[in-house]
Amino acid sequence: MLFVNGQTFALPESVQAALSDFRKSGAVLADRSTAATLPAPVVHELDLSTQTFRGRALLRKRQAEAAKTEREKSLFETTKLENEPVRQAVPALKALLARTAARPVLATDDLDLVVEKHLAGEGALYMVLNGHEEYPQVAPDAKYPRYNFTPARTSYTLQGIPRGATVYAVEGSDWRQVRELPDPSRPQAASFDTGEMKLYLVAPRKPRGLAASAAGQGNALTVTARLDGVKMPWPLTVTVSGPAGNALYQVHRAMDAVGSYTESFPLGSTAAAGTFAISVESAVGKLKAAARVRLKPIPAKPVPMTEAVRVFDEKTLRDFLRGKPKLAIALGNDGQRALAEHLAADLTKAGLDAAVKPEAEVFRKVSYPRVWSPYATVYSPGGPTKEAPGEVERELSVGTSADGDWRQPKTLVTVAGNGLCDWLGQDRETCYEPGVKLYVDEQRNVAVLNAEPRRVRTTSELRGRWAHPWARLYSYLGNYQLPPQLPEAYTTDSHLILLGDSRSSVAVRALQASELLLQTVDEKYPGPGKALIQFAWSPFAVGRNVIFVGASNDTGLRAGVARLADLAR
């Protein structure tokens, strides 16, 4: 099915040709607003236009602004309400698809199931996701969560199951429950956990068994498995155990379209020699195979660094220095002062503007939030304090340096210090003045007990008042905001020269931990009396580069500094 919505301009000839090819095996569906010429379109009355979706979003925003309570306002921000027009369009969409050659994957009257069917080899995989949502009971001054997914009981019938096929159901939130359907053509009465996806693996026949083998290749172990009697993907759990019996790897995998699997597991050059055991199992069909192989890893031969100083990206580094940039030699500790000043003098003689500055002066944490929404919500204490709407198991006092750990279930929070700006994981900033009391419920939703909100513009003055250096580094998992993570959790206004290793400098520690460098310096590498010189483009701030002279002792650092001075001449 190819839906074309709102296309008013004539399509290029190449697109027309592609549509004609598609039309040979598929259907082109067009709404009434589409004026472009299409090959034999099925014209429908469904309104799937972008303008309508935007209009609905604008209407929800206005309804939220007109709401009289926090609960009513939050209703318009829930996915259950956002998706209601989609649910209402399902019957018309079914009727539309019935006019085409399309056939349903699953027959049901349930509007909250999301279904996919995948084909490979001789088999198929049906995926049925529980999308049911129900609003919980909340107080009038509390908010509904954005997502309100719930368990569900429903029924449906799998469509297109070949006669005589074997169908396995893989169920539960962790997919640990496996059963064979006695009659896959009959309606299935299903109980879903919250957000559970059930898998139905359809095989033309039961596999006769599973075979596995293992072979050593260098310092890696290659595992091969094959399904006997069926050519299709099949789920597997593969375990590789070492000579001592300890599990080195345990991975969940699937075979390819012809029922085979091959993977190489690195063991490293320091692995113990002996017999390695391989187990390949599948809970689907209760299949199991094992193999053993004797392997003696080849120990790595250390290759000493023969030169005193190794320079990476030398051409880039020379070109950068040739531009006569202004450089700050960041002093991480007083023990490096004499050498840093000597380097600054040599670079100045070479025509560069170089100066030694304390690391804390040229290298600092970034203030967060980094990116602000146009408006923020500010709570100021005032009026009577409401009772916590749930059980209180702990009480906390948090302030400027709070980093998110205060959102613990059943917690009464008092904002102290200079106040708290809550931004991580939100699409807007919420600022709490000192004295505001908060309650965190079991779902980690926050209720304000003694303050009223004000919606204010995020001016430079407001950002200066509420933004503060981060207290903890996070990993970015995909959200509205950019959490403090290396290397951009720090910033600088200068091109920098960093000296030493991760023990001697905060900036070096941050740079090496960011994994931007080709090699890292520690107590063992590059070794006593030796150094690495590396160039990093804009690691902490765009347009502010870093030259890193890495060494673990004074002799190596002196050699690195002398080599850098030669590169500048």
Token reading at 75? 């209703």
Considering only the C-alpha atoms of the chain, give the largest distance between any 2 of them, rounded to a whole number of Å.
87
pLDDT at 403: 60
Token output for 495 = 């091109």
What whole-number distance in Å separates Cα of residue 494 and Cα of residue 516?
Answer: 19
Reported residue count of the chain is: 569
How far, in Å, CA of 149 to CA of 79, rounded? 10
- For residue 149, the 8-state DSSP code is B
pLDDT category at 51 given cuts 50, 70, 90 is confident
Mean per-residue pLDDT, 430-457: 92
**Which of 101, 200, 505 shows the shortest CA–CA distance to 334?**
505
**What are residue 485's phi and psi, to 5 degrees?**
-145, 155
Name the phi and psi angles at 106, rounded to 5.
Answer: -150, 135
**pLDDT (0 to 100) of residue 401:** 61
> For residue 329, what is the enclosing H or E element?
strand 326-331
pLDDT band at 545 (very low <50, low <70, confident <90, very high): very high
How far apart are alpha carbons 333 and 474 in whole angstroms?
A: 27
Provide mean pLDDT across the span 451-479. 88
CATH top-level class of 49-203: mainly beta
Looking at residue 8, its pLDDT comes to: 87
Q: How many other β-carbons are positioned within 10 Å of the β-carbon of residue 97? A: 17
Burial of 450 (0-12, 13-18, 19+ CB in 10 A): middle
How high is the pLDDT of residue 404?
61
Domain covering 209-295, topology: Immunoglobulin-like (2.60.40)
Handedness of CA 57, 60, 65, 70 (dihedral sign): negative
Closest C-alpha to 501, from 522, 529, 524, 485 = 522
* Peptide bond preceding 389 in cis form (omega within 30 of 0): no
Domain layout of the chain by residue ranges:
49-203, 209-295, 309-365+487-568, 368-469
Percent of the chain with pLDDT over 90: 77
Q: If you ran DSSP here, which 8-state letter would residue 391 be given?
A: -
Task: Convert the pLDDT of each residue in 129-163 to its tens digit.
Answer: 999 999 999 888 889 999 999 999 999 999 999 99
Q: Which residues, in sequence order, are CB contacts of 471 under 8 Å at separation 6+?
A: 401, 402, 403
For residue 31 the two structure tokens come to 């709404």
Quick check: bond before 369 cis, omega within 30? Answer: yes
Contact by Cβ (8 Å): 297, 273? yes
Q: For 474, how many CA atoms within 13 A lie in the half-sphere containing its CB?
A: 16
DSSP 71: H
Mean pLDDT of 108-127: 96
Mean pLDDT of the chain: 93
Structure tokens at 503: 């023990």
pLDDT in tens, 183-219: 999 999 999 999 999 999 999 999 999 999 999 988 9
Topology alike, domains 49-203 and 209-295: yes
More confident residue, 140 or 251: 251
pLDDT digits (tens, 9 = 90+) for 508-525: 999 999 999 999 999 999
**CATH 3.30.379.10 correct for 309-365+487-568:** yes
What per-residue confidence (pLDDT) applies to 479? 67
425 or 474, which is more confident? 474
User: Residue 548 above 90 pLDDT?
Assistant: yes
Task: List C-alpha distances in Å: 569 to 63, 198, 251, 319, 353.
Answer: 68, 68, 54, 12, 13
What pLDDT, in 10s, does the model give residues 338-393?
A: 999 999 999 999 999 999 999 999 999 999 888 888 899 999 999 899 999 999 99
Query: Among 17-21, 289-293, 388-392, 397-401, where is mean pLDDT lowest?
Result: 397-401
Residues 3/47, Cβ–Cβ less than 8 Å: no
Q: How many Cα atoms sit within 13 Å of 327 on the Cβ side?
A: 31
569 has pLDDT over 70: yes
Rg (CA), the chain: 32
> Cα angle vertex 294, ends 293, 295, to 5°?
115
Q: Is the pLDDT of residue 402 over 70?
A: no
Q: By the 8 A CB rule, do 332 and 499 touch?
A: yes
Please determine, for residue 335, whether its predicted confidence score (pLDDT) is greater than 80: yes
Cα 177 to its chain centre, rounded Å, is: 27
Three-class SS state of 565: helix
Residue 221, pLDDT above cutoff 90: yes
Is the distance from CB of 429 to CB of 420 less than 8 angstroms? no
pLDDT for position 428: 79
What six digits make up the tokens of 7?
Answer: 């296309």
* Residue in 214, 217, 271 with CA at minimum distance from that of residue 244: 271
Structure token pair of residue 393: 């198991």
Position 405 pLDDT exceeds 80: no
- Give the separation between CA 345 and CA 144, rounded to whole angstroms: 64
**Cis peptide preceding 526, ω within 30 of 0:** yes
Phi-psi region of 308 (alpha: psi -120 to 50; beta: other; left: phi over 0): alpha
Output phi, psi for 160, to 5 deg. 75, 25
